[in-house]
Chain A
Amino acid sequence: MRGTRYGPGVLTRFANVSDPIPVAGGGLLSRRALLKGAMVMGAGAALPATAANEHLGAAMAWQKTPGRPPTGYGNPSRFESAVTRTTYNRYGAIALGNGGSFTPLERLRGTITPNGLHFERHHQGVPDIDPAKHRLVVHGLVRRPLRFSIDALGRYPMTSTTAFIECAGNSFPNTNDKPPQVTCGEIHGLVSCSEWTGVPLAMLLEEAGVRTDAKWIVAEGADAVSMHRSIPIEKARDDALVALYQNGERLRPEQGYPVRLLLPGWEGNMSVKWLHRLELVTAPVQARDETSHYTDALPDGRALQFTFEMGVKSVITQPSPGWMLQGPGYYDISGLAWSGAGHVARVDVSADGGRTWAQAELLETAQPFAFTRFRLPWRWDGGPVRLMSRAMDEREQIQPTRAEWLQRYGAKQRYHYHAIQTWQVDDMGEVSNAY
């Protein structure tokens, strides 16, 4: 991936824009400057005039041949075949199902992740579940233990929520001593954002009649490790969703078909896929994945348990490693921000390694617990620069530096990494990962 040229048409470079006023070092320009005008002028300027004239009036091959007929299920253009997830595997051939795949964040725009590119993390592969045989059981400390078929769940009133899901281990490559030279998605792509539709968990709990001594709920999946987690009853009643649909269509098998849990803002492992059992209990059951894993090492050798909420985070997706800037001039910096606390309140961008910062524009699609897209115009002078983004959320939590994050934890801590990312741009325009 390193050194791939995407070309100036992808990473928009604005030529001949009347100079806006710099607002911070390294060539950062006001977020209010010229979005509409610059795009119009940039588009005209990016196409060399001679190239356009050569083809003027000459019809393309696809204008002279009938196109293919409609299909039952659409796929991306064959010219987009490189836009795929990067897969990984934990234990090789002995456990092919223990692994995952990274969303190619640097290849996407907007805030919704296409279903085929949503990241994966499986502990024992993707089960092939027949929905007609699948049941969701609610039992334990309830007055009426109940079992729901998928058809029955489909008859409940549904609601939709746009939410990111982030693996607790996302961005773990940046805990290495040296910055790994891989793509943005291969570092930070264990996070994706979808519109999820389903039945509020609170509704099913109400029907089952939760007893007052029930304080936690154990969610279990029907995969081949029967992955399970303990969840506080407060979250189950607040905004937990029993999700059947993702971006309008039924869940993909790798996202929990036919039914998964969605806990907005909390570590992805708890949004249990292939959900088949919910057991009301008095206290956490100390599952393998809330003791030996998904716990956070402290410097004194102890570990934090039940750290559910994902920290405030942002990353510049364009430009990022793999991009080559096509010479000095104007570029639009674009990135994603999110927080387990809810809304992203603000994102700042630096082009001088954090000495000075400028406030980025947050695009109007922003919703709580979802990706927020930010942008900032930038004029690159052709010299080496260090690009960074720093998010702040509605609770005024600020994304930490890498040094601040490392200081909080013990050695080999791999979860909840949410430190500021630095991209180094060298004088050839090549972008790389830097600490």
Chain B
Amino acid sequence: MPTERSRIATLAAAVAIALCVANVSAAPDLGEPVSAADLVGLSITIGPDGNGLPPGRGTAIDGVDLYVDRCASCHGVRGQGRTGPALAGGAGTLAGKAPVRTVGSYWPHATTLFDYIRRAMPYDNPMSLTNEQVYQLTAYVLWLNGIVGRDESIDARTLPGVKMPNRAGFVNAWDARDRD
């Protein structure tokens, strides 16, 4: 008896064959074409290579006022955490009994910080910041962790090259899995 899993695969394969064999009209083909213009503002994912980073720049100094105004009430002025999680600190704690996992101690890629701030922060008003502001806050959080200098420009060119302290701290279990 076919399993649910194999039935999904079979149904998909049937349509794939219908598409390939020549008669495209056999497939539902009910999607509308999407243009590059349609994706502006929608395609917001930033890759670790910096793919997707927008124009703009910011430094930690530029971001101080904004951070104090919009971030510090939850994360603390020094990123030590308050009602929200800590953003800084925790260096050297990961192998101990009380690991503190922050942007500085744990996150492997700096690009993730820009991506997450832009899509999700501030928590009470996500997607309200300009790209410039997101660069400023990214720079500020990296500076809190001692990863960049206070006047260092963070932009599409420099951010992917920021060396995160725990960059080598992850094992890719998917690539390492048994392929049986």
Give B21-35 interface residues, CB cut-off 8 Å to A: 27-35
When distances are taken between beta carbons in the complex, the residues of chain A under 8 Å from B31 are 138, 144, 146-148, 152, 204, 207-208
Question: Interface extent on A, as a size class?
Answer: 35 or more
Confirm or deny: B169 has a beta carbon within 8 angstroms of a beta carbon on chain A: yes
When distances are taken between beta carbons in the complex, the residues of chain A under 8 Å from B8 are 159, 161, 200, 202, 239, 241
Confirm or deny: A283 has a beta carbon within 8 angstroms of a beta carbon on chain B: yes
Q: Is there an interface contact between A368 and B95, defined as CB atoms closer than 8 Å? A: no
Confirm or deny: A124 has a beta carbon within 8 angstroms of a beta carbon on chain B: yes
Interface string of A288-300 (1 = CB under 8 A from B): 1001100111111
Q: Which chain A residue has the least Cβ–Cβ distance from B82?
A: A94
Shortest distance in angstroms between A38's beta carbon and chain B's nearest beta carbon?
A: 31
Give A394-428 interface residues, CB cut-off 8 Å to B: 410-412
Question: Interface extent on B, as a size class?
Answer: 35 or more
When distances are taken between beta carbons in the complex, the residues of chain A under 8 Å from B32 are 146-149
Confirm or deny: A91 has a beta carbon within 8 angstroms of a beta carbon on chain B: yes
Confirm or deny: A367 has a beta carbon within 8 angstroms of a beta carbon on chain B: yes
Confirm or deny: A87 has a beta carbon within 8 angstroms of a beta carbon on chain B: no
Q: Which of A153, A203, A305, A342 contacts B12 (CB 8 A)?
A: A203
Shortest distance in angstroms between B111's beta carbon and chain A's nearest beta carbon?
A: 7
Confirm or deny: A41 has a beta carbon within 8 angstroms of a beta carbon on chain B: no
A155 CA to B29 CA in the complex, in Å? 10
Q: Is there an interface contact between A301 and B98, defined as CB atoms closer than 8 Å? A: no
Confirm or deny: A374 has a beta carbon within 8 angstroms of a beta carbon on chain B: no
Q: Is there an interface contact between A302 and B171, defined as CB atoms closer than 8 Å? A: yes
Q: Which chain A residue has the least Cβ–Cβ distance from B113?
A: A288
Known contacts A288-B112, A301-B95; decide if A206 and B47 are in contact (CB<8 Å): no
Q: Is there an interface contact between B45 and A220, defined as CB atoms closer than 8 Å? A: yes
Give A229-243 interface residues, CB cut-off 8 Å to B: 232, 237-239, 241
Known contacts A145-B39, A281-B47; decide if A410 and B94 are in contact (CB<8 Å): yes
Q: Which chain B residue has the least Cβ–Cβ distance from A162?
A: B4
Known contacts A203-B15, A286-B112; decide if A156 and B28 are in contact (CB<8 Å): yes
A283 CA to B9 CA in the complex, in Å? 24
Stretch at the interface among B63-71, B118-126, B148-156: B118-126
A378 CA to B8 CA in the complex, in Å? 40
Confirm or deny: B161 has a beta carbon within 8 angstroms of a beta carbon on chain A: no
A392 CA to B74 CA in the complex, in Å? 44
Q: Is there an interface contact between B16 and A206, defined as CB atoms closer than 8 Å? A: yes
Q: Is there an interface contact between B120 and A137, defined as CB atoms closer than 8 Å? A: no
Confirm or deny: B108 has a beta carbon within 8 angstroms of a beta carbon on chain A: yes
Q: Is there an interface contact between B45 and A91, defined as CB atoms closer than 8 Å? A: no
A218 CA to B42 CA in the complex, in Å? 13
Q: Is there an interface contact between A291 and B108, defined as CB atoms closer than 8 Å? A: yes
Q: Is there an interface contact between A305 and B173, defined as CB atoms closer than 8 Å? A: yes
Q: Which chain B residue has the least Cβ–Cβ distance from A289?
A: B116
Confirm or deny: A95 has a beta carbon within 8 angstroms of a beta carbon on chain B: yes
A124 CA to B103 CA in the complex, in Å? 20
A57 CA to B168 CA in the complex, in Å? 78
Q: Which chain B residue has the least Cβ–Cβ distance from A277?
A: B42
Confirm or deny: B77 has a beta carbon within 8 angstroms of a beta carbon on chain A: no
Q: Is there an interface contact between A286 and B108, defined as CB atoms closer than 8 Å? A: yes
A292 CA to B86 CA in the complex, in Å? 12
When distances are taken between beta carbons in the complex, the residues of chain A under 8 Å from B27 are 203, 206-207
Q: Which chain B residue has the least Cβ–Cβ distance from A304?
A: B173
Confirm or deny: B129 has a beta carbon within 8 angstroms of a beta carbon on chain A: no
Shortest distance in angstroms between A154's beta carbon and chain B's nearest beta carbon?
A: 9
Q: Which of A228, A299, A304 contacts B45 (CB 8 A)?
A: A228
Q: Which chain B residue has the least Cβ–Cβ distance from A154?
A: B30
Confirm or deny: A9 has a beta carbon within 8 angstroms of a beta carbon on chain B: no
Confirm or deny: A226 has a beta carbon within 8 angstroms of a beta carbon on chain B: yes
Confirm or deny: A361 has a beta carbon within 8 angstroms of a beta carbon on chain B: no
A340 CA to B118 CA in the complex, in Å? 33
Shortest distance in angstroms between B4's beta carbon and chain A's nearest beta carbon?
A: 4
Give B103-152 interface residues, CB cut-off 8 Å to A: 103, 106-109, 111-112, 115-116, 119-120, 123-124, 126-127
Q: Is there an interface contact between A287 and B12, defined as CB atoms closer than 8 Å? A: no
Confirm or deny: A11 has a beta carbon within 8 angstroms of a beta carbon on chain B: no
Confirm or deny: A92 has a beta carbon within 8 angstroms of a beta carbon on chain B: yes
Q: Is there an interface contact between B101 and A292, defined as CB atoms closer than 8 Å? A: yes
Q: Which of B103, B111, B123, B171 contacts A298 (CB 8 A)?
A: B171
When distances are taken between beta carbons in the complex, the residues of chain B under 8 Å from A155 are 28, 30
A40 CA to B34 CA in the complex, in Å? 63
When distances are taken between beta carbons in the complex, the residues of chain A under 8 Å from B13 are 202
Q: Which chain B residue has the least Cβ–Cβ distance from A292?
A: B107
Q: Is there an interface contact between B126 and A285, defined as CB atoms closer than 8 Å? A: no
Confirm or deny: A160 has a beta carbon within 8 angstroms of a beta carbon on chain B: yes
List 28 A–B pairs whose Cβ atoms lie within 8 Å, in order of A's numbering.
Answer: A137-B39, A137-B42, A146-B32, A146-B33, A147-B33, A152-B31, A156-B28, A159-B11, A203-B11, A203-B15, A207-B27, A207-B28, A224-B120, A226-B119, A241-B8, A286-B47, A288-B112, A303-B171, A305-B172, A306-B174, A307-B174, A342-B3, A367-B4, A368-B3, A368-B5, A369-B4, A369-B5, A411-B96
Known: A161-B4, A162-B4. 12 other contacts (CB 8 A): A137-B38, A156-B28, A161-B7, A201-B12, A224-B120, A225-B120, A285-B46, A295-B170, A302-B171, A368-B4, A410-B95, A411-B99
